[in-house]
C-alpha cells in the first residue's frame, strides 16, 4: 500500500489541500485527511514535496510515434523498439495513456515518410495491438485518422475496427482550399516543405487533389456506425464552417478536433461536441498554420481537451502557461489533459481522475522557483514507473 502525502490533490471537483491519496493494488483506495496518515511497515509513504498530485495525462491525439519510427524521410526503425523507446519519452512527460494517431492516407506527394505508406501503417497498427499482451510502461491505444479520399483502404479500416484494434476514429479531409488548408498558400508552403517543387508542379498537385473521388456520405456513416457500435468515439477534423459541423454531427461524431475558427469552435460547443486544441499551439502563442489560437478558444470556453499533437512535452507546460500567462483556472487546465479526454474516449469509468475505485495513474508535479514544472514521480496502475530527482550540483 502507498500513501501519497504532502501535496495538493487534483480531484474532479477542485485542487484539495491537506489530504493524502491511498493506493492499494492497482487502484485508488481512498482520499484521507493528512492527520490520518500512518507510518508503519504495511505502508510506503511518498512525499509529494508540496507539489501537485495529479491524475496521469491522457493524450488522445499524438502522431509523435511517426518521428520515432521514421526520424528521417528515408529511414524507418524497428516498430517494436520504437514503441518501447517512445513510451519512455512519453511517460517522462506525464502521459500514462497515449492514443497514437496514425494517418490512413492515400499515397501521394504528401506521403513524405515511409511510415505513412499503407503497408507500414498496418504494421504499426499490429505492433500497437501487440503491446497489450507484453510488458509495457503505459497504455497504448490507436487513434485511426482516416483521410476521406483513401477509398482503397476503407475496408482495411473496417477490418481493424472489427478486430478491436482501433480505439478512436476521426475523419479527415486535407483537400486544398478547405479545412486546415483553406488558405492555399498554407498548402503550398506545407507541400514545398516536404518536396522541392516548382510553382507549376504545386499547381498540378493542387488540381489533382481537388479532383479526387472521396468516400460518399453513406459510406462515412456506415464506417462511423460500425465504430460507434464497438463503443469507439468518432471525431471530425479541422471543421471550418457551420454546415460541415452539422453534417459531421449527423454521422454520430461527438468530438471536433482542431476547429479552424472561433465561430466554429463556439458552434461545436453549442451542439454538444467536445473540442480538442493543441498544447503546442499554446506554447507557440498560436497555430503553426494560421488557424484558431488554442489560448483564445480556451479563454472563450469553447475548448475541452488539450492534446500534444506532435510535441509530448507541451501538455505539462501548457497547463501552467495557461494558468500563469493567460489567467485560466489551474484546476480546469488539469481537467483538459485528464478527465475531459477520458470522458471523450469513454475511459472515465476507470481513468482520468483521482477517485476511489479508479486506476492509480498518478503524477507528482513540483515547481522550481522560476515556475518550471518538475515531474518527479509517475505511477501507472498502482506501480511506480519513474522517479526523477533534480539536483543543484
Annotate 22-91 with three-state secondary structure.
EEECCEEEEEEEHHHCCCCCCCEEEECCCCEEEECEEEEEECHHHHHHCCCCCCCCCHHHHHHHHHHHHH
User: Which residue is listed with cell 492534446?
Assistant: 307
Chain-wide mean pLDDT for the chain? 90
Percentage with pLDDT > 70 across the chain: 88
Q: What is the pTM of this model?
A: 0.89
Digit-coded pLDDT (tens) for 158-199: 999 999 999 999 998 855 444 454 544 554 454 444 555 566
Contact of 365 with 50, CB cutoff 8 Å: no
Whether pLDDT at 104 is above 90 = no
Q: Which three cell numbers stand for residue 47?
A: 512525499
Give φ, ψ of 353 to 5 degrees: -155, 160
Question: C-alpha grid cell for residue 356?
Answer: 476511489
Of residues 370, 318, 330, 384, the one with CA closest to residue 59: 318
**Would you tell me how many other CB atoms lie within 10 Å of the CB of residue 393?**
2
Q: Which helix (H) or strand (E) holds 263?
A: helix 262-270
Q: Which pLDDT belongs to residue 177?
A: 45
Q: Phi-psi category of 352—alpha, beta or left, where left has phi over 0 and alpha has psi -120 to 50? A: left
**What average pLDDT does the segment 235-264 reach?**
91
- What was the pLDDT predicted at 185? 53
Beta bridge pairs of residue 169: 144, 234
Q: What is the pLDDT of residue 79?
A: 97
Q: For residues 150 and 187, which has the higher predicted lDDT (pLDDT)?
A: 150
CA distances from 9 to 14, 97, 207, 246, 350 (A): 8, 20, 54, 39, 18
Terminal CA-CA length for the chain: 33
Cα–Cα distances in angstroms (integers) from residue 57 to residues 83, 122, 255, 341, in the given order: 18, 26, 18, 9
Give per-residue pLDDT as tens, 223-240: 999 999 999 999 998 888
Residue 200: per-residue pLDDT: 60
What pLDDT is attached to residue 212? 61
User: Residue 270 CA to chain centroid, in angstroms?
Assistant: 23
Amino acid at each position: 500500500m502507498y500513501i501519497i502525502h504532502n501535496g495538493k490533490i487534483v480531484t474532479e471537483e477542485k485542487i484539495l489541500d491537506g489530504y493524502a491519496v491511498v493506493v492499494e493494488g492497482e487502484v485508488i483506495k481512498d482520499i484521507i485527511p493528512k492527520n490520518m496518515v500512518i507510518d508503519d511497515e504495511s505502508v510506503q509513504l511518498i512525499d509529494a514535496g508540496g507539489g501537485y498530485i495529479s491524475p496521469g495525462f491522457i493524450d488522445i491525439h499524438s502522431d509523435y510515434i511517426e518521428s520515432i519510427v521514421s526520424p528521417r524521410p528515408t529511414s524507418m526503425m524497428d516498430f517494436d523498439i520504437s514503441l518501447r523507446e517512445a513510451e519512455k519519452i512519453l511517460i517522462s512527460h506525464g502521459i500514462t495513456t497515449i492514443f497514437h494517431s496514425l494517418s490512413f492516407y492515400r499515397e501521394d506527394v504528401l506521403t513524405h515518410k515511409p511510415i505513412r505508406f499503407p503497408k507500414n501503417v498496418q504494421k504499426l497498427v499490429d505492433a500497437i495491438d501487440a503491446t497489450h499482451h507484453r510488458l509495457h510502461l503505459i497504455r497504448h491505444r490507436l487513434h485511426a485518422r482516416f483521410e476521406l479520399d483513401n477509398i482503397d483502404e476503407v475496408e482495411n479500416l473496417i477490418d481493424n475496427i472489427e478486430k478491436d484494434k482501433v480505439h478512436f476514429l476521426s475523419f479527415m479531409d486535407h483537400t486544398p482550399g478547405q479545412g486546415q488548408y483553406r488558405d492555399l498558400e498554407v498548402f503550398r508552403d506545407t507541400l514545398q516543405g516536404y518536396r522541392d517543387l516548382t510553382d507549376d508542379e504545386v499547381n498540378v498537385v493542387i488540381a489533382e487533389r481537388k479532383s479526387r473521388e472521396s468516400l460518399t456520405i453513406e459510406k462515412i456513416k456506415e464506417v462511423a456506425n460500425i465504430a460507434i457500435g464497438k463503443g469507439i468515439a468518432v471525431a471530425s477534423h479541422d471543421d471550418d464552417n457551420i454546415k460541415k459541423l452539422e453534417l459531421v454531427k449527423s454521422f454520430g461524431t461527438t468530438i471536433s478536433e482542431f476547429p479552424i475558427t472561433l465561430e466554429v469552435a463556439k458552434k461545436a460547443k453549442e451542439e454538444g461536441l467536445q473540442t480538442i486544441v493543441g498544447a503546442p499551439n499554446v506554447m507557440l502563442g498560436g497555430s503553426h498554420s494560421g488557424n484558431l489560437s488554442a489560448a483564445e478558444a480556451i479563454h472563450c470556453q469553447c475548448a475541452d481537451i488539450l492534446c500534444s499533437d506532435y510535441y509530448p512535452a507541451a501538455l505539462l507546460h501548457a497547463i501552467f502557461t495557461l494558468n500563469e500567462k493567460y489567467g485560466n483556472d489551474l484546476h480546469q487546465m488539469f481537467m483538459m489533459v485528464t478527465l475531459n479526454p477520458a470522458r471523450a474516449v469513454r475511459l472515465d469509468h476507470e481513468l482520468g481522475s483521482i477517485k476511489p475505485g479508479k486506476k492509480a495513474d498518478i503524477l507528482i508535479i513540483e515547481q522550481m522557483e522560476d515556475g518550471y514544472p518538475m515531474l518527479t514521480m509517475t505511477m501507472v496502475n498502482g506501480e511506480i514507473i519513474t522517479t526523477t530527482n533534480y539536483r543543484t550540483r
